Amino acid sequence: MTTICVPVCVRRAEQLPGAVDLAARVGDVVELRLDYLDEPGAAIPVVRELTNRIAVPIIVTMRSPEQGGAGSHSYEERRRFWSCAKDLPKVLFDMELDLVTQAEESSMDWNRVICSHHDFDGVPSNIDQLNQSMAATPAKIIKIAVQANDAIDCIPIFHLMERAQREGREIIAIAMGQPGIMTRILGPSRGSFLTYASFGEDSKTAPGQLDAKDLRDLYRVDQIDRETQVFGIIGHPVGHSLSPRIHNAAFATSHLNAVYLPIEVRDAREFILRMAHPKSRELDWNLRGLSVTAPHKSTVMGFLDWIDPSAIEIGAVNTIVVRDDQLLGYNTDAAGFIAPLREKFGSLKGVTCAITGAGGAARAVLWALRNAGANITLFARDVEKASELSNQYGVPCEPLANARFESFDIVVNATPLGTQGEHADQTAATADQLRGVRLAYDLVYNPIETRFLREAREAGCETLSGLEMLLAQAVVQFKLWTDREPDRQTIRHAVTSVLT
């Protein structure tokens, strides 16, 4: 079983027992972040009482402000606190390197000390030297947590874990931030003493910290080992992606030893060369496949060994398969888009289709509809900018403003309008514009019920949510990676349970 530590942050010592009880429900260890307290010293008798009745181990932490502490506690205040707290029974003590090096060797039970260092700016250039200095202290466990600004920043963190295992030492190594999430999920299987998770969204104490329930139920962290097949989605950003919910649910019901990670990548070239390609990667992991999202769908094509001809025509790869020592590229967006339409229409030959938008999403849609024999017109806010795409596919392009769609069988929204957030109340077309259309198809899937779809229903149109494309393309991806068919009901529930 993976050890999950859940931090507790409250302002008053009398709040600790209740907060600890909640944290102990989902965690194997509870960390008391006493730097959050108005009076940290008042917590010592409370903690002493907690050790007598709480079944899970407790870590006591008094973080310095320079390393992410919540208070303004000076070095002297922290030193005085530890001189009183060191006699607490059973608990582990998380102390920064500056205090550990100044403590008298005989004054602490070093088997219960975690010597820690936190860097919220990035990966320090001297991280290996820092690791050696910490390993030279009498502390039994060392902890290094650094900010990751790109997925490649995780590489030195995994190397620290590998070195600690070779040397027989205990280490907690974490890359913080969204790009570092993989270290929180894969770390325990690579020797990290524990991993941190929160009790709900509102109680996170570090960037990139996952919910403990998601860590166990979504990522199945307890079942991950060195043989686990690793998949993931690369893009910037990826925190909003529902693909981890889809594919992890599919892996679970298929009884596969596999995990799917959100991997935030700024530099696609560096990621492919240093972490993905079997011939050059610097990380020892069983990477088997990747989803690719914006802005990397075209960029990754320059670093693959083979690309499916349809993906070359579309000009975008959204799926990578690792086979032997090669990376193979595919585009499943087109197949995912067209599958729900074929279910409704059968043949699309001669069907009139309007596409609103001329960005990356429109490319796969144009390719799929053209190959299906549909008659297509592109509608764009900036016709001049859209001319390259319309010329490439040989379709007319019209202004989106004040467009009328009554002569079309299908209208596809390939713009981001309606997406959860600042665009949520916007639509590519109103009910008045959509009257007479048979089917309105929105590629936006979050929320499921977009304004575009509401306008379409008001106009009397049938509708298709972007959820259908999302799930259909994921089915094709899953087959490419595993040669298996995912359970469609399972993956649909995995998404609809979290969407509004």
pLDDT of residue 488: 96
Q: What is the pLDDT of residue 459?
A: 97
pLDDT at 108 over 90: no
Across 141-165, average pLDDT: 97
User: Is the domain of 321 the same as that of 252?
Assistant: yes
| Active-site residue, 297 included | yes
Q: Do 293 and 276 share a domain, yes or no?
A: yes
Looking at the domain assignment, is residue 157 inside a domain?
yes
Percent of the chain with pLDDT over 70: 99
Does the residue 411 lie in any domain?
A: yes
Q: What is the dihedral angle through the alpha carbons of 393, 395, 397, 398, rounded to the nearest 10 degrees?
A: -150
pLDDT > 80? residue 202:
no
Global pTM reads 0.94
Average the pLDDT over 363-381 and give the result: 95
Report CA 298 to chain centroid distance, whole Å.
Answer: 21
State the average pLDDT over residues 88-93: 93
User: Averaged over 425-454, what is the pLDDT?
Assistant: 95
Residue 500 located in a structural domain: no
* Statement to judge: residues 368 and 325 lie in one domain: no
CATH number at residue 295: 3.40.50.10860
Q: Given this model, what pLDDT does residue 58 score? A: 96
Are 122 and 249 within one domain? no
310 exposed, middle or buried (CB, 10 Å; 0-12, 13-18, 19+)?
Answer: middle
145 within domain boundaries: yes
pLDDT at 360 over 90: no
The confidence score (pLDDT) of residue 107 equals 75
Please indicate, yes or no, whether residues 195 and 238 belong to a single structural domain of this protein: no
List helix spans (H) across 62-211. 75-85, 97-102, 127-135, 155-167, 181-186
Domain boundary among 207, 226, 245: 226
* CATH number of the domain where residue 455 is located: 3.40.50.720
Highest mean pLDDT pick, 83-92, 107-116, 274-283, 358-367: 274-283
Residue 472 lies in a domain: no
Do 397 and 457 lie in one domain? The reply is yes
Overall number of domains in the chain: 3
Domain contains 280: yes
Using an 8 Å Cβ cutoff, are 264 and 237 in contact? yes
Name the band, by pLDDT with cuts 50, 70 and 90, for residue 240.
Answer: confident
Locate tokens 């999403």: which residue? 361
Ranges of H-type helices in 212-265: 212-213, 243-253
Q: Give me the pLDDT at residue 490, please.
A: 97
CA 359 to CA 428: how far, in whole Å? 14
Phi, psi of 69 (to 5 degrees): -65, 150
- Residues 429 and 300 placed together within one structural domain of the fold: no
CATH number of 131's domain = 3.20.20.70
CA distances from 170 to 108, 131, 141, 165 (A): 18, 12, 5, 8
CA 318 to chain centroid: 16
Cβ neighbour number for residue 300 with a 10 Å cutoff: 24
Distance CA 323, CA 310 (A): 19
Domain boundary residue among 191, 226, 261?
226
The SS3 call for residue 406 is coil
- For residue 361, the model assigns a pLDDT of 87
Same domain, 277 and 163: no
Span 228-253, mean pLDDT? 96
pLDDT at 445: 92
Q: What is the mean pLDDT of residues 236-258?
A: 96
Tokens of 16: 């600790």
| The one catalytic residue among 90, 279, 297, 344 | 297
Q: Give strand ranges (E) for 361-444.
A: 375-380, 397-399, 410-413, 439-442
Structure tokens at 168: 């027989």
Pair 268, 293 in one domain: yes
Instruction: Report residue 303: phi and psi, to 5°.
Output: -125, 15
For residue range 172-200, what is the model confidence (pLDDT) as tens digits?
Answer: 999 999 999 999 999 999 999 999 999 87
Q: How does pLDDT run across 58-87, given as a tens digit for each residue? A: 999 999 999 988 878 888 889 889 988 988
Range of the domain at 348: 340-464
Q: Which of 226, 251, 285 delimits the end of a domain?
A: 226
**Rounded mean pLDDT of the chain?**
94
pLDDT at 96 over 80: yes
Residue 315 has pLDDT above 80, yes or no: yes
Tokens found for residue 461? 């149109």
In the structure encoding, which two tokens stand for residue 286, read together? 């069983």
**Partners of 172 in the β-ladder:** 143
What is the total residue count of the chain? 500
Same domain? For 62 and 182 the reply is yes
- In a shared domain, residues 24 and 123: yes
CB atoms within 10 A of CB 128: 13
- Residue 201 maps to a domain: yes
Confirm whether 289 is domain-assigned: yes
Are 68 and 192 contained in the same domain?
Answer: yes
